[in-house]
Amino acid sequence: MKFTRFFVFCFLTFVLVITLASCQFNSNNKSGVDIVVASKGFTEQDILSELLAQQIETTTNLKVERRRFTSALVTHNALIAGKIDAYIEYTGTAFTSILKQKVINDPKVLYEKLKQGYAQQFNLEVMEPLGFEDTFAMIIRGEDAKRYNIQTLSQAAKYTPQWRGGFGYEFVEREDGFIGLAKTYDFRFAKPPRLMELGLIYRALLQKQVDMINGNSTDGQIARLGLVVLKDDKQYFPPYEAAPIVRQVTLKKYPELRKVIAQLSGRITADEMRQLNYLVEGELQDIKDVVRQFRKSKGLASSKDNISNSVIRKH
């Protein structure tokens, strides 16, 4: 009886070990996926992630998985942990929020220092920018801009005691966010800013719950909603050029990736990015279709564009 129990125990232990080993193998093998690209969890990032994924899928034999995260830090940590292989980041965000460096306003100097820092600290490759900058945009209602004849942040400063700001959580906490902006322009809001989800921030401005918000300069909703971006006349915000960031080990494993991703360099203008955002947010078009048509317009399409190998997961 004791021998039987011992035999059963050994058998169950053996089965458990085999099962765990199998799960570990499947996890490491990414279920047949070669490359994982990620988005930071908002429309523009979803579009850029899809652009990167389609570019790889249609010009190589690699299978690509898409994942969706929620912030720059979470996505960066996933990258250095090897959970993903690449994503699109903004140079100013990476330099100030990840490397924790002080603002540099020269985009070329910032890019070179960022490239060097990421290679040395994280073994990551910062590739050539895509061609557009998505900087922070301080936005007010068009009617207020017209009423007070406001075009710049310096001109807006004297009206802030009458206004209330509405800002995203990350913008309030960031080194290059609200605190430094308020000091630079001497903003004196009557009440502390309302902390808001980015998805609700435009509605709050239109409904006059707040009077100034932060957005992105390539947001498709700005012109559609009759809003005005105030000029950063003191050049407070650093450059925010969109650039692919890829693990060096991934580039060594799949050397064809370097040339494939480089084909996206300089191919997107700010106006084009704004239009892509509008097609998705304003006209509710499918992201895959929007990206596919854009690639076709840029001569990047291939015969494999009709083949979809995508898997999307949320994190």
Is residue 23 domain-resident?
Answer: no
Q: Give the mean pLDDT of 232-238.
A: 93
120 and 180 together in one domain:
no
Rounded-to-integer distance, Cα 14 and Cα 244, Å: 45
- Which of 198, 230, 262 is a domain's end point? 230
* Model confidence band, residue 198 (pLDDT cutoffs 50, 70, 90): confident
Residue 280 one-letter amino acid: V
114 and 153 together in one domain:
no
77 and 211 together in one domain:
no
pTM for the structure as a whole: 0.78
158 and 211 together in one domain:
yes
Is residue 8 domain-resident?
Answer: no
CB atoms under 10 Å from CB of 92, counted, come to 25
Q: Assess contact for 95 and 110: CB atoms under 8 A.
A: yes
- Which of 173, 200, 230 is a domain's end point? 230
DSSP secondary structure string for all residues of 199-224: GGHHHHHHTTS-SEEEEETT-THHHH
144 and 165 together in one domain:
yes
276 and 152 together in one domain:
no
Indicate if the pLDDT at residue 12 is higher than 70: no
Is residue 12 domain-resident?
Answer: no
Say which CATH number the domain at 204 has: 3.40.190.120
Is residue 170 domain-resident?
Answer: yes
108 and 253 together in one domain:
yes
Is residue 290 domain-resident?
Answer: yes
Is residue 127 domain-resident?
Answer: yes
- Which of 176, 208, 230 is a domain's end point? 230
Average pLDDT, the chain: 88
Domain of 66 in residue numbering reads as: 32-133+241-314
Indicate if the pLDDT at residue 162 is higher than 70: yes
Q: Residue 25 has what pLDDT?
A: 37
DSSP secondary structure string for all residues of 72-95: HHHHHHHHHTTS-SEEEEEHHHII
In total, how many domains does the chain have?
Answer: 2
123 and 142 together in one domain:
no
Is residue 107 domain-resident?
Answer: yes
Q: What is the pLDDT of residues 168-193, one digit of tens each?
A: 988 998 878 999 999 999 999 989 99
Q: What is the pLDDT of residues 118-133, one digit of tens each?
A: 999 999 999 999 999 9
User: In the chain, what percentage of residues exceed pLDDT 70?
Assistant: 86
Q: Residue 78 has what pLDDT?
A: 98
